[in-house]
Structure 1
Amino acid sequence: MRSSRPYKSPNAALLWSLVLPGFGQLYNKDYFMGITLLGLEFLINLKSNLNLVLVNSFKGDILAAHQPVNYSWALFYPSVYGFAMWQAFNTARANNHKLTGNEVEKRTYLTGFFIGLVIGMDFGLFWHDCRYIKMLPFLDYPVFNGIVLGVLLGLVGHFIEKKHYRKSA
Structure 2
Amino acid sequence: MRNFTNNNTARRYKAHVSLVGTTQLHLRNPYIIAWWSAAFPGFGHLLLSKYLRGYALILWELLVNNMAHLNYGIIYSFTGNFKMAKEVLEPRWLLLYLPVYIFGIWDSYRSAVDMNKVYLLAERENANFNSFIIGAVEVNYLDKRRPSMAIFWSFLTPGLGQLYIHRVITATFMVSFMIVFVYFSNVLVAVHFLFMGEISKATEALNPQWFLFIPSQIGFGVYDAYVNTVENNKLFDSEQRTFLRKNYNQYRIKIPTSAEV
Structure 1, unpaired ranges of 5+: 103-169
Greater helix content: 1
Contact 2:158–2:174 under 8 Å retained in 1? yes
Letter in 2 for 1:46: Y
Offset at 1:58? 2.1
Q: Does 1:46 align with 2:183?
A: yes
Say if 2:166 is the partner of 1:29.
yes
Structure number, greater radius of gyration: 2
Tell me what 2:9 maps to: none
CA shift, 1:99, in A, is 0.8
**Could you tell me which residue of structure 1 aligns to residue 197 of structure 2?**
60
2:144 matched residue in structure 1? 7
Shift of 1:53: 1.0
Residue identity in the other structure for 1:78: P
- Any residues of structure 2 matched to 1:12-161 within 5 Å, and which? 12-101=149-238
Cα distance in structure 2, aligned partners of 1:70 and 1:51: 11
Higher strand share: 2
SS in 1 for 2:226: helix
CA RMSD of aligned residues (A): 1.6
Q: Give 1:116's aligned residue.
A: none
Structure 1 position 59, deviation (Å) = 2.2
Amino acid at match of 1:95: N
List per-residue Cα deviations over 1:74-128 (Å, max 9, x = no partner): 00010011100110011100000101118xxxxxxxxxxxxxxxxxxxxxxxxxx
Q: How many residues align?
A: 99
Q: Secondary structure at the match of 1:100?
A: helix
- Give distance in 2, aligned partners of 1:17 and 1:79: 12
What is the percentage of aligned positions where both structures have the same residue?
A: 27
State the one-letter code of the partner of 1:29. Answer: H
How far residue 61 of structure 1 moved from its aligned partner, in angstroms, is 1.2
**Stretches of 4+ aligned residues off by more than 2 angstroms:** none
Question: Normalising to structure 1: TM-score of the pair?
Answer: 0.56
Structure 1 residue identity aligned to 2:145: K
Are the counterparts in 1 of residues 142 and 232 from structure 2 also a CA contact under 8 Å? no
Structure 2 residue ranges without an equivalent (≥5): 1-140, 240-261
- Other structure's SS at 2:205 match: coil
Whether the 8 Å CA contact 2:142–2:236 is kept in 1: the answer is: no
